[in-house]
């Protein structure tokens, strides 16, 4: 799949502070890419550098496969960027966006209505100051949507949203991703906020991109499961099916039985195998959460890069 955003060894220094250290990121077409990192990790710096707002850097930026500075400038026209845009409190959403439409030089006057519909704010006529956090966030997304970008970059868009606001935000992003084929790059310092939304994750720590992983890989690494290896995979599977109703398992390439959930029944599984005179070679119970996985990764990254 094509990388819409790619950096090669991107490095950015503010005087003494190394804010980005050799970052090579890959955001593919159609993804909702979650960039996860603590405060000060370098997320905003990365976005600013990507968008051409922090000109001094080393390494390479490729947008839509283009890398020369003229081509990058054109490519940035196809990207909507939101990092805490300012809106006028006494204007409505429509009036605010009308202002930004003109500022961006978008001549089509119907554009404001189009983007307000996409975020389901076209029927709201209150002034911006009376909006909930969630509504403000939707206006920000609408602003990023003007001009029909192929990519939308959102820096910590979920800050300050309540759980309902987060759920609404997720719904909108997923809808735009699916129906408008917009690729998203979204940062957060809280993994849980993007856990259900992102299709791929990049973990950044002290300016270093520690790992890029897709959701499936993370799920495999974090799902609750019990892994069993015996001397007879078929007989073991048969016994498990007999013993446990609705058991959900697969057999992996190493002839191990991987059982979903059931981490609270490991002792029963062990007994079943031993009682039936099978040899038990391996029995692992994995209860790691995605949050644990992330913290482990940071601990490792911290060691490697201090
Ligand atoms: N304009 C700046 N001048 C000097 N240092 C900066 C500047 N902006 C950010 N930094 C530093 O760069 C590092 C990364 O910051 P930032 O990109 O804002 O992280 P994040 O968005 O992940 O919280 C931090 O150590 C921060 O203090
Ligand atoms: Mg930031």
Residues 120-177 have pLDDT tens digits of 999 999 999 999 988 998 999 999 999 999 999 999 988 878 888 889 899 999 999 9
| Cα 303 to ligand 1 centre (Å) | 21
Q: Ligand 1 test: best mutation among 11, 17, 202, most atoms within 8 Å of CB?
A: 17
Angle at CA of residue 29, ends 24 and 31, nearest 5°: 85
CATH of the domain at 218: 3.40.50.300
| Cα 67 to ligand 1 centre (Å) | 25
Residues 197 and 269 both lie in one domain: no
Say what the pLDDT of residue 39 is.
Answer: 93
Residues 155 and 68 both lie in one domain: yes
Please, which pLDDT band fits residue 306 given cuts at 50, 70 and 90? very low
Residues 259 and 135 both lie in one domain: no
Provide mean pLDDT across the span 97-118: 94
Other CB atoms closer than 10 Å to residue 16's CB: what's the count? 5
Say what the pLDDT of residue 191 is.
Answer: 86
Residues 157 and 138 both lie in one domain: no
To 10 degrees, what angle do helices 133-145 and 93-103 make?
30
Say what the pLDDT of residue 297 is.
Answer: 82
In angstroms, the Cα distances linking 278 to 8, 79, 219, 232, 260 are: 52, 59, 30, 7, 21
Residues 242 and 306 both lie in one domain: no
Residues 205 and 296 both lie in one domain: yes
Nearest atom, ligand 1, residue 15 CA? 4
Q: Ligand 1 test: best mutation among 11, 16, 41, 45, most atoms within 8 Å of CB?
A: 45
Residues 168 and 233 both lie in one domain: no
When mean pLDDT is compared across 30-34, 134-138, 228-232, the lowest value belongs to 134-138
Residues 10 and 41 both lie in one domain: yes
| Cα 130 to ligand 1 centre (Å) | 32
The answer for residues whose C-beta is within 8 angstroms of residue 149's C-beta and 6 or more apart is 78, 79, 80, 182
- Residue 221 has phi, psi (to 5 degrees) of -80, -20
Looking at the chain, the whole-number percentage of residues with pLDDT higher than 70 is: 97
Residues 169 and 271 both lie in one domain: no
The residue segments making up the domain with residue 127 are: 87-144
CATH of the domain at 244: 3.30.70
Say what the pLDDT of residue 272 is.
Answer: 95
Other CB atoms closer than 10 Å to residue 208's CB: what's the count? 20
Residues 233 and 277 both lie in one domain: yes
Provide mean pLDDT across the span 229-233: 96
Q: Is 297 exposed, middle or buried (0-12, 13-18, 19+ CB in 10 A)?
A: middle
With CA atoms as reference, report the closest residue to 169 among 120, 234, 225: 120
**With 80 as the cut, is the pLDDT of residue 302 above it?**
no
Provide mean pLDDT across the span 221-228: 88
* 3-state percent helix, strand, coil for the chain, nearest multiple of 5: 40, 25, 35
Q: Is 129 exposed, middle or buried (0-12, 13-18, 19+ CB in 10 A)?
A: exposed
* Residue 209 · residue 203 · CB < 8 Å: yes
- Residue 80 has phi, psi (to 5 degrees) of -95, 130
- How many domains does the chain divide into? 3
Residues 68 and 162 both lie in one domain: yes
Classify residue 231 by its DSSP letter.
S
Residues 7 and 68 both lie in one domain: yes
Give the residue whose CA is nearest to atom 2 of ligand 1: 14
């Amino acid at each position: 799949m094509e990388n819409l955003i790619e950096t090669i060894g991107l490095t950015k220094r503010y005087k003494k502070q190394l804010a980005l250290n050799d970052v090579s990121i890959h955001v593919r077409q159609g993804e909702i890419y979650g960039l996860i990192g603590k405060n000060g990790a370098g997320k905003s710096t990365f976005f600013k550098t990507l968008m051409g707002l922090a000109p001094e850097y080393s390494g390479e930026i490729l947008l839509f496969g283009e890398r020369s500075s003229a081509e990058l400038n054109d490519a940035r026209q196809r990207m909507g960027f939101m990092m805490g845009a300012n809106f006028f409190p006494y204007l409505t959403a429509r009036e605010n966006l009308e202002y930004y439409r003109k500022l961006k030089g978008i001549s089509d006057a119907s554009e404001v209505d189009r983007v307000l519909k996409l975020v389901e704010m076209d029927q709201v006529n209150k002034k911006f100051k009376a909006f909930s956090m969630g509504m403000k966030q939707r206006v920000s997304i609408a602003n990023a949507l003007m001009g029909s970008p192929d990519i939308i970059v959102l820096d910590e868009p979920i800050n300050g949203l309540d759980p309902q606001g987060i759920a609404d935000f997720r719904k909108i992003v997923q809808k735009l991703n699916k129906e408008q084929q917009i690729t998203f790059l979204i940062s957060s310092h809280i993994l849980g906020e993007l856990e259900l939304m992102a299709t791929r994750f990049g973990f950044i720590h002290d300016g270093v991109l520690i790992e890029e992983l897709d959701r499936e890989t993370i799920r495999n690494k974090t799902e609750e499961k019990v892994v069993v290896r015996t001397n007879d995979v078929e007989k073991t599977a048969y016994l498990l099916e007999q013993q446990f109703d609705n058991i959900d398992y697969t057999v992996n390439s190493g002839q191990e039985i991987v059982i979903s959930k059931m981490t609270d029944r490991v002792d029963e599984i062990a007994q079943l195998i031993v009682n039936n005179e099978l040899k038990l070679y391996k029995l692992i119970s994995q209860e790691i959460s995605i949050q644990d996985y992330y913290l482990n990764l940071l601990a490792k990254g911290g060691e490697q890069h201090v």
